[in-house]
Amino acid sequence: MSVVHQLSPGWLLDHLSFINKINYQVHQHHESCCSKNEPTASVHLDSVSSFGSSTKFIASDPTTKPKNDGGGNCEMFIQKYIFRSELFDITKPYITSAIHKECQQNNEKEDLMNGVKKEISISTLGKKRKRCVDFNQGELDAMEYHEKIRGLILDGSSQIIQEGLKSGFLHPLSEKQDKCNEPITLSFDTCNLSELCEMAKHLPSLNEMELLTLQLMENDMSVTEQDLFSRIVENNSRFTKMITLMGQKYLVPPKSSFLLSDISCMHPLLNCRKTYDVIVIDPPWQNKSVKRSNRYSYLSQLQIKQIPIPKLAAPNCLVITWVTNRQKHLRFVKEELYPSWSVEIIAEWHWLKITNSGEFVFPLDSPHKKPYEGLILGRVQEKTTLPLRNTLPIPDHKLIVSVPCTLHSHKPPLAEVLKDYIKPDGDCLELFARNLQPGWTSWGNEVLKFQHVDYFIPLESRS
């Protein structure tokens, strides 16, 4: 269970526990009796940079025991993996309250909500001069929005965090932890999935009628590398399978499916003629830090509007969009995006990021970065749509409180939080995903990013 506590203001989630309760078990065979040192529960893509015709995509059966040179069966064993716990080791805030307070004291006091001008001292060529700067409309809107939800976040999170401290899930920072809190850096030699999607555009197109799904079947099968980029890949087995892509290994959990492509190649999702009861969207929003860092490519508002949600959504589909704190994006989702998809807004939730000791990762009133992000929830409206049965009405302004992963944009899981508000066994889709989860179809040009085997630790294997 990812839900540690559920209270009236919201939920305290354990993201790490959610990942590790997934059955990350790969069936493999012993090197001593098998001629090939490859996992049998795997899909292997031996690829060359030119995408030559000799490249093959091979799916193998985890239950079949291959024969060794002597004609006997190879001995199978199970390799279990868990996610690296240090990636959730957030012992101290990113910016401490003391530093934030010192910054505030260095600035002149001003009436932010009344838009009073502030004076900024600027040193130019050794001389100091003063100039007046007005807050722009975006900054004023952000301040107003923050004031609206500030009390809700402060009061609601206090209850949830206190419950987490009582149960021992959250724990006060010890002196030892305080001194040893060094940032974790993992230098993974991963392939660039988004660039791979760009390269795949130059591959010959298959007949659209053939673009269905590629199931990681029980019987051995091999197809060309085109299938990885033009079909939804499904793992319907009870065990995790490992795929090798451009020399890098990725774990595909059981009962999960994915499509690795960018926004120009979404047609395999549509060709399956499948609709979804839940669609979670985490768009690559444009902002200044993304532009400066070139960390990932972003989409314009027009491109986001072109995502074919009406064709992917089942009647009464619950649509959830992650939104940054930039008011421009919030207004766009509420006033343009959802209306264009015939989605009616029903609630706005907030993800609050805390440390392992229950502190906000940023000061709540920081003018630069806030410790929370938003989620806009809505339902697809159609004239013939009947109301959902056996589901609760979705409440407004709920809090999702969790320790964030240190990996950029690794959002907390919503599956258990949403279970009371969607029909049982509903089909779920995540767009712009960077990881996989059982029971969900995931799409994006980095959809396997956090499934890289180096983010996991292998445990002792067993036969």
Q: What is the CATH number of the domain that holds 394?
A: 3.40.50.150
Q: How does residue 231 score in pLDDT terms, banded at 50, 70 and 90?
A: confident
How far is residue 447's CA from residue 409's CA, in Å, rounded to a whole number? 12
Residue 15 pLDDT exceeds 70: yes
Q: How does residue 298 score in pLDDT terms, banded at 50, 70 and 90?
A: confident
Tokens linked to 182: 């060094």
What's the mean per-residue pLDDT of the chain? 78
Residue 374 lies in a domain: yes
How far is residue 360's CA from residue 299's CA, in Å, rounded to a whole number? 29
Residue 205 pLDDT exceeds 90: no
* CA-wise closest residue to 92 among 189, 13, 181, 222: 181
Cα distances (angstroms) measured from residue 358 to each of 47, 83, 381, 404: 46, 22, 39, 12
Q: How does residue 192 score in pLDDT terms, banded at 50, 70 and 90?
A: confident
How far is residue 4's CA from residue 402's CA, in Å, rounded to a whole number? 10
Cβ pair 78, 456 in contact under 8 A: no
Residue 263 lies in a domain: yes
How far is residue 220's CA from residue 26's CA, in Å, rounded to a whole number? 17
Query: What's the domain count of the chain?
Result: 1
Which residue range is the domain that position 323 belongs to? 198-459
Residue 66 pLDDT exceeds 70: no
State the pLDDT at residue 127. 47
User: Of 33-37, 55-59, 62-66, 89-93, which range is least confident?
Assistant: 55-59
State the pLDDT at residue 350. 97
Mean pLDDT in residue range 313-324: 95
Q: Say which residues have a Cβ less than 8 Å from residue 309's Cβ, sequence separation at least 6.
A: 279, 319, 341, 343, 380
Cβ pair 28, 77 in contact under 8 A: yes
Mean pLDDT in residue range 83-108: 70
Residue 116 pLDDT exceeds 50: no
Residue 218 lies in a domain: yes
User: Of 30-34, 192-196, 408-412, 415-419, which range is least confident?
Assistant: 30-34
User: Of 14-28, 73-87, 279-293, 437-451, which range is least confident?
Assistant: 279-293
DSSP per-residue letters across 237-293: SSS-EEEEETTEEEEE-TTEEEEE--GGG-HHHHHTT--EEEEEE------HHHHHH
95 vs 448 pLDDT, higher one: 448
Cβ pair 246, 196 in contact under 8 A: yes
State the pLDDT at residue 206. 54
247 vs 331 pLDDT, higher one: 331
Mean pLDDT in residue range 211-221: 58
What single DSSP character describes residue 334?
Answer: I
Residue 55 lies in a domain: no
Highest mean pLDDT among 53-62, 139-148, 198-207, 380-389 belongs to: 139-148
Which residue in the block uniquely carries the two structure tokens 């207004």?
331
Which residue in the block uniquely carries the two structure tokens 């983010």?
455
Residue 292 pLDDT exceeds 70: no
Mean pLDDT in residue range 66-93: 78
Residue 52 lies in a domain: no
Residue 239 lies in a domain: yes
Tokens linked to 56: 């093959």
Q: How far is CA 344 from the centre of its chain?
A: 24
Phi, psi (deg, nearest 5) at residue 341: -100, 5
Mean pLDDT in residue range 338-367: 96
State the pLDDT at residue 126. 46
Residue 453 lies in a domain: yes
Q: Which amino acid, one-letter code, is at 229?
A: F
Residue 209 pLDDT exceeds 50: no
Highest mean pLDDT among 170-179, 201-210, 373-382 belongs to: 373-382
Cβ pair 5, 165 in contact under 8 A: no
Which residue in the block uniquely carries the two structure tokens 């790969």?
26
Residue 9: count of CB within 10 angstroms of its CB:
18
Residue 162 pLDDT exceeds 90: yes
State the pLDDT at residue 150. 96
Residue 111 pLDDT exceeds 50: no
Model pTM above 0.85: no
User: Of 30-39, 308-317, 360-369, which range is least confident?
Assistant: 30-39
Residue 400 pLDDT exceeds 90: yes
Mean pLDDT in residue range 87-92: 93
How far is residue 404's CA from residue 87's CA, in Å, rounded to a whole number? 9
Highest mean pLDDT among 73-77, 101-105, 108-112 belongs to: 73-77
Highest mean pLDDT among 18-32, 130-144, 294-308, 397-411 belongs to: 397-411
Highest mean pLDDT among 128-137, 260-269, 353-362 belongs to: 353-362
Looking only at the bridges linking them, the beta strands covering 42-46 and 56-59 are antiparallel
How far is residue 16's CA from residue 402's CA, in Å, rounded to a whole number? 10
